[in-house]
C-alpha cells in the first residue's frame, strides 16, 4: 500500500470516495495491519455539525454483523476522522446495475440480512430513514452491510405525538406518510423502504419510477405498482403487505419475520444489547488536539441560549421542574451541590436500583442488569455548569421501554430529593427570588 500520510495509529492509502465536504480513504492500523476506511471531514465546510454528531452517536449504538461498524473517532483542529470497518466488496446497487434482477434465493438472503439488521437498529431506537441499494455494501464473503446513517433519527427525537416529522430520504424509496409531512413512525417508514429494495432485487427495476416528481409522489401515495411476470409468487404477498400506503395496516416487523417466504433458510444472528456507548461527541468540532484525547476537568458550561432552547418558550422556570417537552425520553433538574457529589450519589442510587454504571468525567452511563420489555434499559446523564454554584443534570433514555424509564425517573427523583433544587410553585417568594437570580446571572 502506498502511504499518503498518517492519522493517529493509521497509515492512509488510496481514496475510496469523495463528496462535497468529506472523503473516504483506505487505511491500515500500524500495529495490527487491520484495514479500515477513514471518513475525513473538513470542519470548516460543515454547515450542520449536528448531523455528523448524530451519525456518530447513532453508529456507536449499533453493534451488528450486517451494519458497518464504527471503530473510533479522532479529531484535529481542522478535521474529524471517523474510523470505520473496511468493507472489501461493492455496493448492492452496482451488483443490480451489472447483473439486473437476482435469483430469488440470492435476493432473499440479502433481504433477510437487511431485515435482521434493521430490526436490531429499531430495537436500539435507531431509524435509518435512507435505506436504498446504494447504502447497502457487500463484503468479500457476500454478506450485506448497512452504511451511511447521516439521515438517521433516534427515538428521543420523536415529537409529543410519538412521530418523526423531518422529511428526508431518497424519493423512490421513501414512504408515502413521509411525503405527506404529517408525521410518521420511523420503523414503519424503514420497513416500506425495505419493501422497495426487495422489489428491486427481484424485479430488476423500481416499483415507483417517474421523471416528474409530482407523478412519482402520486404513485407512491397510492401505492400504485405492478409485478413483472417473473416475480416469485411467495414474495408477491410479502411485498404487497409491505408496500401498503396506510402505515397502520402495513406489515410490521414481527409479521415480516414470521412470513413463510421470508423464513426459508433464514439464519438469525445473535447480538449483544449490553455494549452501549452514549458519550457526547460535541467536542469533535472544538478539539485543538490530535486524536481527541483531552480529558474534561470541570463540567461543561452551558450558556443562556442553550438553556433557553431546552426550556419551554422563554420561561426558564421550566428547567426547575419535570420537562413536558417534545422529547419524552429526556428530563432535567438543577442542583446546588458540587458536581462530583451529584454524580457519586447518582452512581450509588443506580447501583441500588440494579444498574451497572460507567462514569467518565461528568458523564454517566447506566445500564440495567435485568432485561425489560424492550431489552435492557439504558440511561445516559451529564452534569452541566450553569453558574459558579449551580449545576444542571440532563437525563435521557438511550434504550429500553419508556414506561420502565419513567419508573426509573421517579425512583431517581425520590432518591435525589435532598440535593435537588426545585421550585415548589411559581408564586412562592423563594422560587421567584431564585428564578430572578438565575436570569440576572444569565
Cβ neighbours, 10 Å, residue 167:
12
48 known ligand binder: yes
Asked if the structure places residue 279 within a domain, the reply is no
Range of lowest pLDDT (75-89, 109-123, 222-236, 308-322): 308-322
Q: Rounded to an integer, what distance in angstroms lies between the CA atom of residue 10 and that of residue 28?
A: 5
126-127 vs 153-154, strand pairing mode: antiparallel
Asked if the structure places residue 287 within a domain, the reply is no
Which has the higher per-residue pLDDT, 426 or 271?
271
The answer to whether residues 77 and 97 belong to one domain is no
The answer to whether residues 314 and 356 belong to one domain is yes
The answer to whether residues 118 and 190 belong to one domain is yes
Asked if the structure places residue 430 within a domain, the reply is yes
Instruction: Please give the average per-residue pLDDT across 244-272, as a whole number.
Output: 91
Assess whether pLDDT exceeds 80 at residue 122.
yes
Catalytic machinery residues: 130
The answer to whether residues 99 and 70 belong to one domain is no
**What angle (nearest 5°) sits at the alpha carbon of residue 77, between those of residues 73 and 79?**
50
Asked if the structure places residue 33 within a domain, the reply is yes
Asked if the structure places residue 103 within a domain, the reply is yes
Domain boundary among 242, 263, 284: 263
Asked if the structure places residue 274 within a domain, the reply is no
Domain coverage including residue 54: 6-85
The answer to whether residues 110 and 58 belong to one domain is no
The reported pTM is 0.63
The answer to whether residues 152 and 12 belong to one domain is no
CATH no. for residue 316? 3.30.310.80
The answer to whether residues 242 and 328 belong to one domain is no
Asked if the structure places residue 360 within a domain, the reply is yes
Asked if the structure places residue 280 within a domain, the reply is no
Assess whether pLDDT exceeds 70 at residue 20.
no
Structural domains in the chain (count)? 3
Who contacts 438 (Cβ-Cβ below 8 Å, separation ≥6)?
A: 316, 386, 387, 390
Chain segment 334-350, per-residue pLDDT in tens: 777 788 888 888 999 99
The answer to whether residues 152 and 234 belong to one domain is yes
Q: Which grid cell is 208?
A: 415507483
CATH no. for residue 78? 3.30.200.20
Instruction: Please give the average per-residue pLDDT across 345-368, as a whole number.
Output: 87
Amino acid at each position: 500500500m502506498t502511504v499518503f500520510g498518517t492519522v493517529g495509529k493509521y497509515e492512509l492509502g488510496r481514496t475510496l470516495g469523495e463528496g462535497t465536504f468529506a472523503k473516504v480513504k483506505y487505511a491500515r492500523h500500524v500495529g495490527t495491519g487491520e484495514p479500515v476506511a477513514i471518513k475525513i471531514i473538513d470542519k470548516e465546510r460543515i454547515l450542520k455539525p449536528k448531523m455528523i454528531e448524530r451519525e456518530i452517536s447513532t453508529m456507536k449504538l449499533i453493534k451488528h454483523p450486517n451494519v458497518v461498524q464504527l471503530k473510533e473517532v479522532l479529531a484535529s483542529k481542522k478535521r474529524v476522522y471517523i474510523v470505520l470497518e473496511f468493507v472489501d466488496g461493492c455496493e448492492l446497487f452496482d451488483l443490480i446495475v451489472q447483473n439486473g434482477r437476482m435469483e430469488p434465493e440470492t435476493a432473499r438472503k440479502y433481504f433477510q440480512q437487511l431485515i435482521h439488521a434493521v430490526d436490531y437498529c429499531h430495537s436500539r431506537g435507531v431509524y435509518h430513514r435512507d435505506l436504498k441499494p446504494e447504502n447497502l455494501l457487500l463484503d468479500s464473503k457476500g454478506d450485506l452491510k448497512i452504511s451511511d446513517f447521516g439521515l438517521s433519527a433516534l427515538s428521543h427525537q420523536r415529537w409529543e405525538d410519538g412521530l418523526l416529522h423531518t422529511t428526508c430520504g431518497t424519493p423512490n424509496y421513501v414512504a408515502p406518510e413521509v411525503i405527506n409531512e404529517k408525521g410518521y413512525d420511523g420503523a414503519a417508514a424503514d420497513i416500506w423502504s425495505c419493501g422497495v429494495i426487495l422489489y428491486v432485487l427481484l424485479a430488476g427495476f423500481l416499483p415507483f419510477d417517474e421523471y416528474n416528481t409530482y407523478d412519482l409522489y402520486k404513485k407512491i401515495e397510492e401505492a400504485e405498482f405492478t409485478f413483472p411476470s417473473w416475480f416469485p409468487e411467495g414474495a408477491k404477498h410479502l411485498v404487497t403487505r409491505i408496500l401498503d400506503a396506510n402505515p397502520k395496516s402495513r406489515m410490521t416487523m414481527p409479521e415480516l419475520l414470521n412470513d413463510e417466504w421470508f423464513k426459508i433458510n433464514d439464519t438469525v444472528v445473535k447480538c449483544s444489547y449490553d455494549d452501549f456507548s452514549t458519550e457526547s461527541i460535541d467536542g469533535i468540532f472544538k478539539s485543538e488536539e490530535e486524536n481527541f484525547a483531552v480529558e474534561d476537568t470541570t463540567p461543561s458550561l452551558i450558556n443562556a441560549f442553550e438553556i433557553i432552547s431546552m426550556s419551554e418558550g422563554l420561561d426558564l422556570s421550566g428547567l426547575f421542574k419535570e420537562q413536558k417537552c417534545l422529547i419524552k425520553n429526556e428530563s432535567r433538574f438543577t442542583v446546588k451541590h458540587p458536581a462530583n457529589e451529584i454524580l457519586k450519589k447518582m452512581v450509588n442510587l443506580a447501583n441500588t436500583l440494579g444498574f451497572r454504571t460507567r462514569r467518565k468525567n461528568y458523564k454517566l452511563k447506566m445500564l440495567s442488569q435485568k432485561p425489560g420489555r424492550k431489552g435492557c434499559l439504558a440511561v445516559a446523564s451529564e452534569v452541566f455548569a450553569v453558574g459558579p454554584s449551580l449545576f444542571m443534570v440532563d437525563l435521557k433514555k438511550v434504550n429500553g421501554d419508556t414506561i420502565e424509564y419513567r419508573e426509573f425517573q421517579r425512583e431517581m427523583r425520590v432518591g435525589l430529593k435532598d440535593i435537588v433544587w426545585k421550585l415548589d410553585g411559581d408564586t412562592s417568594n423563594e422560587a421567584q427570588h431564585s428564578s430572578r437570580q438565575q436570569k440576572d446571572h444569565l
